[in-house]
Structure 1
Amino acid sequence: MVAVTAVLLAACGGSDGDDEDQIRRAEAKVTAKQRAVTETEAELTEATTAFCDATTEYVVSLDRYGDVLTSTAPTVGDVREAGDDLTRPREDAVGAAEDAVEAQEKSAAARQELTVAQAELKAAKNGKPPPSPTPTESAAPLAPPATVNRVKQAESEFEAAQSGISDETPLSEASRQFNAAAVALEMSWLRLFADAGCLTNDQEKTAADAVRDYTLALQDALAITGYYDGGVDGVYGPETLAAVESLQQSHGLPVTGTV
């Protein structure tokens, strides 16, 4: 009888030891996954900062591009060279965006693995088998797909405008094509810049207020000079665009619809 009791006690003790080992392994796994989350989040922060910096440089380069169109006696060659100067900033911005997306995916995967490890630890402590694997969640996009698609479209339109310029292209036509494409491209990247979290809420509000104030002043000036009869509402819509085009056409300027 004593021997049987000893065997039973030994068996119970062995089971407790196995449970404790399983809990320790689960705890170690959680610790490792927590460390991985910290590391990937740091990498994501670094990649996002690099993206914001590269995008800033690209947008500034696009903005400087307009100086060519207002400089003294620009030539078609000047316009084409200005477009070529955008190549490196563009490549840097696109490369940084790809790096940020990759870092975001790694961070999401690390968080998912931590969630699984925590569930396994909970099950081990409750003496239950590990839970069934859960489907991997996709990482949230760096920016809304519509914003990304608009950037791609604007890039394509800009490249088409650039390739359509030759030495035989009239300067006014070259300026009009490039300026319109460059402005659209700059606006699309600015939207991506904001949607990717490169602006604080205060900065985004300040930028929106500045655009609205500028548009209000523009609409008021266009109305006074007889080019605009729409509402002075601070929205750069079709009526404002048409008024600007009419003004530009009247003064022999490149008709871009933007100022």
Structure 2
Amino acid sequence: MEMALDRILGADTVAGETERPARLVAAMRHAALGGGKRLRPVLMRETARAYGRDDGGVLIAAAALECIHCYSLVHDDLPAMDDDDMRRGRPTVHKAYDEATAILAGDALLTLAFDLIASDTVHAEAAVRLRLSRDLARAAGLGGMAGGQMLDLESEHRQRSEAEIRTLQAMKTGALIRYATRSGAILAGASDEDVARMTRFGELVGLAFQLADDLLDVQGDAAILGKAAGKDAAAGKATLVALKGVDWTRRTLDELVREADGLLASLGARAEVLSAIARYVADRSA
């Protein structure tokens, strides 16, 4: 993934482009090549691999998804949003460059994602590429990640029910993770039943990721996290950890992993990596 992103975010133009401003390229590279778990592209590639496909087209689709994720982090870190100075152990894009450049870097990463997902190498059939593009837009946009971020902002210093918190988290965090596993199955030509199975698997991993993230915000070490801890409580954000408690959260994480493993049972050894990822997501310390 690092090599693919390094190439995609190079200085050379592609057909239809006029010029790639050096400062914008540098800011995009700062956002996308600064480390990170690469959870979403790994989930997409491992799902596709489990169903029999592992080639450069899947890698390009995975890079598109990671560009969406990186754009969201750049914008989330802005002073008007979460106002974070550190990301992945180094200055956020607006701190390393400036706010205007950070906004443009996020915009460019977002639009680049749809350039990538439309590539002929992603899938031979245009209808499949269109399906992947539409699903990505819905996962990232109004009814997905962006909408979830809006709900999250509206929840600061307000009481929210468990159902409301689950909805905003399913949108803000879960939508792209759900897309990762769903699209991996689609890319590999899996049956409708298997696409539905992996869609549910992604939903479970997405919820587990957010619960673990909320636990880390309460109990984590900023030096290990690479970003500030305790910000959710300071901002009065609605989380299931705050509503239900740490013990409930840990029990729920175990339940999510068990259900996720059950969905993978029919894949046998082909799903070993996916199973390990689900456990890692629930148990992570950073």
Q: When the two structures are superposed, what TM-score results if normalisation uses the length of structure 2?
A: 0.31
Q: Which structure: greater helix fraction?
A: 1
Q: Considering only CA atoms, is the larger Rg found in Structure 1 or Structure 2?
A: 1
